Amino acid sequence: MKVSSERIENSQVVLQVEAEPEEVERSLEEAYRHLVKRADVPGFRKGKAPRAMLERYLGKEALLNEAVERLVPQLYSRAVEEQGIDAIAQPEIEITQTDPVIFKATVPLRPTVELGNYREIRVDPEPVEVAEEEVEKVIEQIRYQHAPWQPAERPIQFGDLVTIDVKGSLEDGSLLDRKDLQYQVLKALPFPVPGFSEQLEGLEKGEEKEFTISFPADYEISHLAGKEYPFRVVVSEIKEKKLPELNDEFAKSLGEGFEDLESLRQRIASNLKAMAEERERRRLEEKVIEAVVELSKVDFPPVLVEWEIDRLIREKEASLEERIKSRGKSGEELREELRPLATRRATVYLVLGKVAEEEKIEVAEAEIEEEVEAIAQEAGERGEELRKFFHSAARQSLEEALLTRKTVKRLVEIASGDEPEIMAEKGGGDGS
CATH for 148-241 is 3.10.50.40
Range name among 11-25, 50-64, 96-110, 403-417 with the lowest pLDDT average: 50-64
Say if residues 264 and 258 touch (Cβ distance below 8 Å): yes
Architecture of domain 2-110 in this structure: 2-Layer Sandwich (3.30)
List the domain boundaries for the chain.
Answer: 2-110, 148-241, 261-426
Q: What is the pLDDT of residue 426?
A: 47
pTM (two decimals): 0.71
The model's confidence at residue 391, banded by pLDDT at 50, 70 and 90, is confident
Query: What angle (nearest 5°) sits at the alpha carbon of residue 126, between those of residues 124 and 291?
Result: 40
User: Cα-flanking dihedrals φ and ψ of residue 61, to 5°?
Assistant: -65, -35
Architecture of domain 261-426 in this structure: Orthogonal Bundle (1.10)
User: Which amino acid appears at position 423 of this protein?
Assistant: M
Encode pLDDT of 55-109 as tens digits. 888 888 888 888 899 899 999 999 999 999 999 999 999 999 888 899 999 999 9
| CA dist 192 → 229, 342, 404, 421 (Å) | 10, 34, 42, 60
Whether 292 has a pLDDT exceeding 90, the answer reads yes
* Cβ contacts of 129 within 8 Å, gap of 6 or more: 276
The model's confidence at residue 173, banded by pLDDT at 50, 70 and 90, is low
Instruction: Return the higher-pLDDT residue of 278 and 45.
Output: 278
Q: What is the pLDDT of residue 40?
A: 82
Say if residues 214 and 226 touch (Cβ distance below 8 Å): yes
